Structure 1
Amino acid sequence: MEPEKSSRVKVRSLLSVVSCKPIEPGKTLKLSSLDHALGLHSVHVVFYYESNPFDEGPHSTDMDNLRIALSDLLNKYPKVTGRLTRDVDGNWEVKCNDAGMRIVRAEVSSTIDEWLRSADALEERDLTVWEDMPEDPSIWSPFRIQINNFNCGGLAIGLSCSHMHADLTSATLLFKSWTEFHRGQPLTYHPIFHLPSTNGRSSQDTRTESTELYAAKSTVETNPVKMGTATLRFPDSSIKKCLSRVHSKCENATPFDLLVALFWSRIARLKKPTNGVKHSLSFCVDLRKHSNKSVPFGYFGNALSFSSLSLNTEELLESHGLGNVSKHVHRHMAGLEDEFWSALDVFDTRKEEGTKFAPPFRMYGPELTCISMEHMINPEGRSMTFDTMFKEGEKPVHVSYQLGNVEGEGLILIMPAAEEGLGRIVRVMLPEEQIDMLLKDEVILDLEPTLTP
């Protein structure tokens, strides 16, 4: 038996940061039916910086500067500093108070360059807090930040939260707002805690496809297997070259369409499929809109739509079929405009007893699930994920997303790269033996990806 590998991350202290103004007494924020459904999952984001953005001279400490901007920011985010409680119907709501956000300080016995070269996804978990919600969460902090100091002066900041409270976009925008407060700039997106009114919307928005998909997810049990994770960075030049090959079949193919088609078809090949078999891929799409025509971009909560696309073996794996699969993906994505409201309708009707929402279930699974972060490209064409600068011009060198309690066939997450253009980062979680084979796949390697944590 191999000896257990010791962690390079050592926690040194724990403290709390509260908002600088007291919360009004009795204020609560209800969680939506979709928030409840995601209760088994957690959200984890790590931002890597080459230098410590909080070290601003000999007369101030890094924690002084951290607390000031974060304390000011938390005035606008009562959902972050509050604690969970049950309302009269037995559903979760946030009791807004001054309990604050937990901050963990840790040291990493590595330089940031060494870490980015050698750390895997399992070790990267040490840079954020992984803690299941306790049975009584009344004194539990659902949002936590971990400040990780590398011995070269670099910094990794890990943000963790319950998925009931926020999705990947909300977590990213919370962090982005913190960096804007630190630089003394106005917020790009002010947080909104209530969805726009749905009065007058037809009940016919509920779709049979959505109902069947969520019903299947809520009843299927999976057998946990050991999962492996890999992150691949695809350069702009490789994406452009591959898109030119598929445009004869799908003229409007996007980098997302292409990469979904690529990974879905290559993963399917690993399972040695036979003709006539249906392959299903679940899509998780954020429906916030920069134009505020649907869900406002500043909405702080869960604005996700899950849908499913099925292709048979011949359609998915035929020779030179990447363009055809891209076309199917493109058509599917184009039809998701109103799916978010359909999802809310479905979950609003899932009641356990009376007006109490049904228990949560694994939304990421059991089928292979693909998450799109394409909406994080701002109107100027830049990735908002990497537009998180505590100091002007000093972008993070890497950003990593993870979700807790993922089971089933696996997960594919596609996000924009730091550089402007068509470059993308793909994070794949699959059964361990499939990950090993996928990283040797010649079709994927032809796009010259770079492996990162």
Structure 2
Amino acid sequence: MAREGKKNRVNVLVKSTLSASLPVKPGKTYPLATLDHAMAHHSLHLVFYYPAAAVAAAGMGREPLRVSLSEVLVHYPAVGGRLTRPAEAGGNWVVRCNDAGMRVLDAQVRGTMEDWWRTATPEEEKELAQWETTGEDVFLWSPFTVQISEFECGGLAIGLSCAHMYADPMCVTLLVKAWGDAHRRACIVHPPFFHSPALRARPTPNLATASVELLRRKASSAAAPAAMSTATFRFSDQSVRRCLAQLRPSCPDAAPFVALAALFWWRLKGSATASGGPQSLTLCRDIRKLLDAPLPHGFFGNALHFSAVTADLADGGWGGAAEAIRAHLDGVEEEEVWSTIDWVESRRDPATETHGEAFQMYGPELTCACLDNLFSYSAAFGAEATAPSHVAYHVGAAEGEGLILVLPAPPEQEGTLGRTVTVSLPQDQMDKIRHDPVILDLGPTVLLNSPSA
């Protein structure tokens, strides 16, 4: 798995399979929901970085981590199961909760964590969350892979990869948080809630909304093959406050997500509208708490909604983009959410009830995901001062015009407005955004900023 040359500093030593400490009741299954099938084109890859001091304080040795992981898998029977497509389910995906276990990779990283931050590239970071794609026999394949990578200084990187149709970023984050809770013998604050019918189509569908039209366009589009590159910008609480202050005259109610999404949209697409004309941005956000009957944070599966906002970036600039995003998010009604579920369900084959073929949800048009509600820095494995120093998120198969992820940042004494922005773009555009003077003037720290090998 590790690549040659500079990038062989991450070496996988052992591959194994870990099952829950208590067996699952025989015959237990979990059918994937409508929105789960829609996300089958993508994968998720998370990396949680724990400094040496946190590792020592929390007792995060490899064997204790395996024990606590096997304990938490008792609460997540679907994670240790295997995918099947039984005829009685119309050939749709069903998880057989058979205790087959989760794939675990034990790895070592050459050098210290400090060396890593100074010399590694975003492409190398993906070596900390390696993943084996499905083979010919999907029933033998583990949809979840955990990678425990130890640096020479004693720091750890915990990588977790999975098929997106299993879980969205909130689910995967809470799985790692629950692992930390189990490791420190604490109560699991957000236990998993397995109830796929919670987001199912209605008897009388509505297929005539703007969100449905967006999905129709996605289903008929395909990204042109292009090499993608990634950059991560960490905006401190002070930096975000500067953003909001600059936007106050044109968008006084801007939230951190609105400000940063608009900033990158404007800087990426503003020059394309020099002669006037609107530009579109697809927005993705978690809907668990947006419904009239909200779902618990622990709802297991996919609870994401995609919609499109349009603005004339040449005339309105950053402020116009921010106000357009704010107004759009405030104006999306719950009917838009349910209509997308109706439409995905309507693509089933009438004869077999098989779901339609999955397509690219993140892209191919420029897409921005609001993920700053995640509990990334609550994934502590010890009592105090054991939270991760950084958490990275990557989405597989998100080629096209680009993907912007607005994420939490590590807590600061100064305030809670800090955010991390991870941008994936075609390589020919990445150098421009890395050195964009407007973005850099706001004072973000660019992480893993070493030139690519």
TM-score by length of 1: 0.91
Greater Cα offset, 438-447 or 174-183: 438-447
Letter in structure 1 aligned against 2:346: T
Q: What are the ranges of 5 or more consecutive residues in structure 1 without an aligned counterpart?
A: 377-383
For the pair 1:351 / 2:343, whether they are aligned, the reply is no
1:97-120 Cα offsets, whole Å, 9 max, x none, are: 111111100000010111122211
| Letter aligned with residue 382 of structure 2 | K
1:39: Cα distance to partner? 0.9
Q: How does 1:270-419 map to 2 (within 5 A)?
A: 272-289=272-289, 293-311=293-311, 315-318=312-315, 321-338=317-334, 339-354=336-351, 355-376=353-374, 384-393=375-384, 394-419=386-411
Are residues 1:451 and 2:446 paired? yes
Residues 295 and 303 in structure 1, CA contact (< 8 A), matched pair in contact too: no
Inter-partner Cα distance in structure 2 for 1:133 and 1:337: 37
Q: List structure 1 runs of 4+ shifted beyond 3 angstroms.
A: 3-6, 52-57, 195-207, 290-293
The residue number in structure 2 matching 1:141 is: 142
Distance (whole Å) between structure 1 residues aligned to residue 397 and residue 199 of structure 2: 32
Question: Quick check: 397-406 or 126-135, which moved more?
Answer: 126-135
1 CA distance for matches of 2:437 and 2:193? 45
State the AA in 1 paired with 2:68: A
Deviation at 1:130, TM superposition (A): 2.7
The answer on whether the counterparts of 1:210 and 1:346 sit within 8 Å (CA) in structure 2 is no
> SS where residue 374 of structure 1 aligns?
coil
3-state SS of 1:327 partner: helix
One-letter code aligned to 1:350: R
**1 CA distance for matches of 2:340 and 2:188?**
30
Corresponding residue for 1:39? 40
Distance 1:408 1:222 in 2: 5
CA distance in 2, matches of 1:51, 1:423: 24
- The answer on whether the counterparts of 1:143 and 1:162 sit within 8 Å (CA) in structure 2 is yes
Deviations 1:54-95 (A, max 9, x none): 6689xx992331122111111110110000001320101100
| Deviates most, 42-51 or 201-210 | 201-210
Once the 2 structures are TM-superposed, how far is the Cα of residue 273 of structure 1 from its aligned partner?
A: 3.5
* Native 8 Å contact 1:287 1:337 kept in 2: no
CA distance in 2, matches of 1:329, 1:200: 27
Q: Cα RMSD over matched residues?
A: 2.3
| Structure with more of its chain in helix, by fraction | 2
SS in structure 1 at match of 2:52: coil
Q: For 1:203 and 1:374, locate their aligned partners in 2 and report how far apart those are by CA, in whole Å.
A: 34
Pairing of 1:139-288 with structure 2 (within 5 A): 139-195=140-196, 197=198, 203=204, 206-269=207-270, 272-288=272-288
Against the structure 1 CA distance between its residues 296 and 205, is the aligned structure 2 distance closer, same or farther, given a 3 Å change threshold?
farther
- Whole-angstrom CA distance in 2 between matches of 1:52 and 1:23: 36
1:14-68, Cα deviation, whole Å (9 max, x unpaired): 11211111111111100112111211211000000112766689xx992331122
Distance 1:290 1:192 in 2: 17
Q: How far 1:336 sits from its partner (Å)?
A: 3.1
Change (3 A) 1:74 1:150: same
Cα deviation, residue 307, structure 1: 0.5
Residues 68 and 328 (structure 1 numbering): CA distance in 2 closer, same or farther, change over 3 Å?
same
Partner amino acid, structure 1, of 2:75: K
1:343 CA drift (Å) = 2.0
Q: CA deviation at 1:365?
A: 0.9
**Structure 1 CA distance for aligned equivalents of residues 33 and 224 of structure 2:** 29
- Shift of residue 428 of structure 1? 0.5
Q: In 2, are the aligned partners of 1:91 and 1:357 still within 8 Å (CA)?
A: yes
Residue 432 (structure 1) aligned to one of 418, 421, 427: 427
> Scaled by the length of structure 2, what TM-score is found?
0.91
Distance in 1 (alpha carbons) for counterparts of 2:201 and 2:231? 45
When residues 31 and 199 of structure 1 are mapped into structure 2, their CA distance, relative to the original with a 3 A threshold, is closer
Query: Counterpart of 1:96 in structure 2: which amino acid?
Result: C
The one-letter code matched in structure 2 to 1:298 is: G
Is the partner of 1:106 in helix, strand or coil? strand
Q: What secondary structure sits across from 2:171 in the alignment?
A: helix
Aligned partner of 2:85: which letter? Answer: R
- List runs of 5+ in structure 2 lacking aligned partners: 449-453
Residue 381 of structure 1 aligns with which residue? none
Equivalent pairs: percent with the same residue? 42
The alignment of Structure 1 onto Structure 2 pairs a total of residues equal to 437
Query: Kindly tell me: are residues 400 and 196 of structure 1, through their superposed partners in 2, closer, same or farther at Cα, counting changes over 3 Å?
Result: same
CA distance in 2 between counterparts of 1:130 and 1:199 reads: 30
Q: What letter is aligned with 1:428?
A: V
